[in-house]
Structure 1
Amino acid sequence: MSTADHKELARQLGPIGICLVTVSDTRTEQTDLNGKFLKEEIEALGHRVDGYRIIKDEPDQVAAILDEFAGTACQLILFNGGTGISPRDTTFDVLSRKLEKTLPGFGELFRMLSYDEVGAAAMLSRATAGIYSGKVVFSTPGSTNAVSVAWKKLIRPELEHLAWEVGRK
């Protein structure tokens, strides 16, 4: 079967459950533009937001929310924030230790697209993706533009296909 066939089969499976995590020491539900953007985008496509949290960039909080959301019916978990190289950026470190399979192409493509936007600073991003406990996990930088680029150019076009592939037996 072709990728187009996979996508068509996936569309027939119905709404996809997605959990959202904003990793930030300063954002609140009122100031979380990424959470608002993603919720609107997901619902406009007819899918569901099965969970949403804002957490501090603390390794124990990142690990705990990953495990909590992995125990739900959602199929994808989208993290934003904590992917840089500063000492406070720990999201990548926690997720990279937990991912059972990685999707290196996501980070590579994200940095390629980011290069067009921010130049050589794109190399500072540790955006990553993979599979954990039967869920597709994405982790992007926390800037609004980064979340928009990752969603519009990489995640949204493959959303149904990703959910279908991870759910295959």
Structure 2
Amino acid sequence: MGHEEHRREGPRQVRLAVITASDTRGEAEDASGAYLRAQAGAAGHPVVLYRVVKDEPEAIRAALAAAHAAGAQAVLVNGGTGIAARDRTYEAVAGLLEKRLDGFGELFRMLSFGEIGAAAMMSRAVAGVWRGAAVFSMPGSTAAVRLAWEKLVAPELPHLVRELEKDRKGSAAPGG
């Protein structure tokens, strides 16, 4: 089966969680979170959880746990992926991932390089699998979130979730 067929076999709806990690933004100022929620809705994906949390590992991990409890199949985390002392989202997310999708960060930085040049190397965007869900952690700027959503997340989200669901169903089978 080819890649396009795999894409088409993915679920039409993916339950998403959107988590914004910021020490300065609340829901009213969260343009990046609003963008992700709007794009999810436009694509037919329900947002089962939305939170703005401080860029503190404990708060981020608690929000991820809440996303899991809400049944999210994918979690979109934005903010806190830079190199400033307060940017701690990468550590909180990367430390939980059971499987890393290194290509997400690599491709995100490559695409960012085309838009912002060498500063793209300072992004610590990361993705992987945690508790059966896809987790994407990206910078908090709306331009970065748009780039990640349009070029990487949205095109492969159903396919990725299909693969994760296949694993879950396979492991539930006798002897699986």
2:71 to 70, 73, 79: 73
Q: CA deviation at 1:4?
A: 1.2
How do residues 111-150 of structure 1 correspond to structure 2 at under 5 angstroms? 111-150=109-148
Q: Contact between 1:70 and 1:132, CA under 8 Å: does it hold in 2?
A: no
Q: Could you state the TM-score of these two structures normalised by the residue count of structure 2?
A: 0.92
> What residue in structure 2 maps to residue 46 of structure 1?
44
The correspondence for 2:158, drawn from 141, 151, 160, is 160
3-state SS of the aligned residue for 1:98?
coil
Secondary structure of 2:129's partner? Answer: strand
SS at match of 1:19: strand
TM-score normalised by length of structure 1 = 0.96
- Which residue number corresponds to residue 4 of structure 1? 4
CA–CA distance in structure 2, aligned partners of residues 14 and 113 of structure 1: 27
* Alignment coverage as a number of residue pairs: 167
Say which is worse superposed, 90-99 or 67-76, in terms of deviation. Answer: 67-76
Q: Equivalences for 1:13-92 in 2 at 5 Å?
A: 13-92=11-90
Unaligned runs of 5+ in 2: 170-176
Gaps of 5+ in 1: none
For residue 102 of structure 1, the aligned residue among 100, 105, 125 is: 100
In 2, Cα distance between the equivalents of 1:115 and 1:164? 30
Q: Which runs of 4+ in 1 moved over 3 A?
A: none
Q: Distance in 2 between matches of 1:67 and 1:98?
A: 11
